[in-house]
Chains A and B, each alone.
Chain A
Amino acid sequence: MAQIFHHSSNTFARMTLYGAIFFVAFIGWAGYTLDRSHWATRQHVPREQPIPFSHAHHVGGEGFDCRYCHTSVENSSFAGLPATEICMNCHSQIWRTSPTLEPVRESYRTGQSISWTRVHDLPDYVYFNHSIHVAKGVGCESCHGRVDRMPLMQQENSLQMEWCLNCHRHPERYVRPKEFITQMGYVPAGDQEEIGKRLVQEYHIQDARTLTSCSTCHR
């Protein structure tokens, strides 16, 4: 009886068996890498907007406080996106004929909202509240980065849960005095850990066990 398989089949069989381990490992690695890639998180990817609004110009150049436009950041979960009216406070006076700003004027004329592309978009099962973070000394910059240097808005951090937990586990490493909440380029006057520990006490920031309870963010 003739042999069905050539002798080299043994090699192929072995390669396949050992290869399978590498293949599975590769799939795992690829998934892991993809999940954390900037492609998936959209970190550092400037997003196209209906109007090329520049935070660099308004915050960095003109020195606007964040709260001029993001009016509800201290009172609500949602920081608030400026109503067209707020844009028109200035732009009914300056750059009145700029073609770039035509969508703003059109919105004001027609009463149709401007549809901005969301840059910081948490999954729907995450309930983030701006007001409490601001009240407890988490600066805008801590999450949003140096927006005063961003011509087009982009996401500074991954916004993945691991990143959130960094601070929920060790708030003392990130908090700052409330008077510097909206300041860009804040540098702690001394050792951050030391200042942070003092602020955690002063602001009655809850302990890590409470802050990392699932229902703090998920409900």
Chain B
Amino acid sequence: MHATVCDYIADLVQNAVEAGATRVALEIETRSERVAVTVADNGCGMDAAQVRRAENPFFSAPGKHDRRRVGLGLPLLRQATEATRGDMEVRSTPGQGTTVSFRFDAQHVDTPPLGDLAGTLLTLLSLPGSYDLAVHRCAPAGDYAVARHELAETLGDLENAVNLALARQYLTALERELDVPPRPRARAA
């Protein structure tokens, strides 16, 4: 099961790329009281009925996996945010794109840890496809921005393992600059 916030982020960005997006914007904000993430894309978008179906755990978008009869990404995220005094919102317009935003209460004992963000960003920035991913990361100690096209221009082939290792080194250094201390967990009631 999805154990970290990064797992949910990976799901949403993948969905955006698979929806045919050429631009995906990922905002990640961590504060002492909340974790907030927004994934906005210019993919095919969904009408209201499709948005409702996307949150149905027994629905999977056609074409991804022919025999699969479950689609757990959004339902699991909805369940996790609501169990931790957070929330999730999906806004979408057919032909224009989709924006998924979610927030966790950072002080809730059941809020998942952020996870390995540098490793996750490496995975997302090297997904196959013709898209640009622009990441904006904010924390109390500062912020940074990184984009797929910048990494590709600097390093070259983002499928080459050595280039990927360099990209990860860069992302890890950016994340370390923020030096986010571990979140103290609230006592269970």
A binds B: no
Question: Which A positions have Cβ atoms within 8 angstroms of B?
Answer: none
